[in-house]
Amino acid sequence: MKTSRLYKILAAAILICAVAMAMSFLNSLRFNPDPSGDVNFIARAQQKSVPGIKVNISALGARESQQSFGEDLAKYNIQPVWLSIENETDEQLFFLPITMDPDYYSPHEVSYRFHGALSFAANRARDEFFLKRQIASILPPHLTTTGFMYGAKSKVSKRCPFQKLQRAHT
């Protein structure tokens, strides 16, 4: 009788593990970002300017990043920060995310947090999506460059990065 009960408990434990693994697997196949709400954080962006450079910056909250990126970035302490940098100078400038947050994440590091073991197409879509939304490091003259940097939630500086823009030495 004790053996029978032990088998039932073992079977229930295996079933629970199998269901949890199946749910995790199915969840990794889903990737549905919805950037339609991006206008909200763009509208509230803080703007600062110095001669030749205008910067708009907005840190996304947990719900906004969940909707915009289709993943729970806050769960991994990742805070996306939207930047729009208008370079009105005649020189090419560089933006280095590490100067805003020494522990920032690359797009592939963020995407990898949500990779599934057998979700090849979804993983590739995540990689491309996060990479496409990253702000470029090179800021060409007389152009506006927009995108995200992915910072550690508690460490990212939400101040405008004027001192962080470097002139190109050619």
- Asked whether residue 163 carries a pLDDT value surpassing 60, the answer given is no
What is the pLDDT at residue 170? 42
Instruction: Evaluate if pTM is beyond 0.85.
Output: no
> Which residues on neighbouring strands pair with residue 142, listed in sequence order?
none
Pairing label, strands 165-167, 78-87: unpaired
Give per-residue pLDDT as tens, 68-85: 999 999 999 999 999 999
Q: Give the closest residue to 41 by CA, choosing from 66, 15, 73, 23.
A: 66
Q: What is the dihedral of CA 145, 94, 157, 125, to 10 degrees?
A: 50
Give per-residue pLDDT as tens, 101-118: 889 999 999 999 999 887
Give per-residue pLDDT as tens, 22-63: 555 555 556 789 889 999 999 999 999 999 999 999 999 999
Beta-carbon contacts of 34 under 8 Å, excluding residues fewer than 6 positions away, are 67, 68, 70
What is the pLDDT at residue 107? 97
Residue type, 11: A
Averaged pLDDT, 6-32: 70
Give all strands (DSSP E) within the chain, no chain letters: 46-50, 53-59, 78-87, 93-95, 138-139, 143-152, 165-167
Tell me the C-alpha distance between 150 and 106, whole Å.
7
